[in-house]
A = this chain, B = another copy of it.
Amino acid sequence: MSQEQRTKSQTKTAIDGLKELIFSGELPAGSDHLETELAQRLGMSRTPVREATLMLEGQGLLEVRPRKGVRILSLSVVDMDEIYELLTELESLAARRAANAGHSKDDLSVLANAIDEMETALASEDRESWARADEKFHTELVRLGGNSRVISIVANFNNQVRRARAMTLYIRPLPEKSNEDHRAVLEAIAAGDAALAFSVHHEHRSNARKMLIELLKKHGLKHV
């Protein structure tokens, strides 16, 4: 954790608080909440809550519906598919850029570590640890890509699918083959083979997308 601001503004507090409430499921997808209720809950006046909800609406986490309250957004299968398609493209773009950037072995150590962590986690079937390492890998990959717009868009959509991912973590098959892909991507980047990095990662992500969508359909999860 980075050093906290001397005094965090109420609006920031509200943003973080709401995010946390949403991610944790305390404000479930589809639920409605009046500004006054949220303000009370967060211990502040309506003003900063209002500003926070407007910003989070811009980030696709909720919807402000006058007189109906703030609605926490749920994602349909189509939404998930759209987002995964987008993430596939953007992460693959990042992989290509990362390969072209000529990163040193040292630069790539976070990726390598994440892969190791996933391996360890897989061996002990520790899905939570695996998920953390997986997210670390993908986040770092995008960071290495270096396109700041891509970085923030990907981060944003990862937030949007966070709940869904957590929800499916225990019902999906252990990603045995996944790490082969990760290693292949890492190697392509280390070798500076941009086309390969792109295509391998694209394939990897496409597969994950298909798997997830099938899973959602199979379990009748129309909204997550």
Contacts and interface: CB of A to CB of B under 8 A. Distances in A.
Contacts of A86: 90, 93, 147, 149-150, 153
A149 B89 CA distance: 12
Interface size class of A (residues with CB under 8 A): 10 to 19
A77 interface: no
Contacts of A50: 51
Interface in A71-96: 82-83, 85-86, 89-90, 93
A93 B50 CA distance: 36
A198 to B, nearest CB: 10
Given A51-B51, A90-B89, A149 B58 contact: no
Main secondary structure of the interface of A (DSSP, over half): helix
Contacts of A51: 50-51, 54
Contacts of A85: 93, 147
A90 B150 CA distance: 11
Nearest to A92: B89
Contacts of A157: 149
Nearest to A157: B149
A196 to B, nearest CB: 17
Contacts of A90: 86, 89
Interface string A132-154: 00000000000000011110010
6 contacts: A50-B51, A55-B55, A58-B58, A82-B149, A149-B157, A153-B153
Given A86-B90, A89-B90, 10 more contacts: A50-B51, A55-B58, A58-B59, A82-B148, A82-B150, A85-B93, A85-B147, A86-B150, A86-B153, A153-B153
Interface of A: 50-51, 54-55, 58-59, 82-83, 85-86, 89-90, 93, 147-150, 153, 157
The list of the 3 closest CB pairs from A to B, nearest first, reads: A58-B58, A82-B147, A89-B93
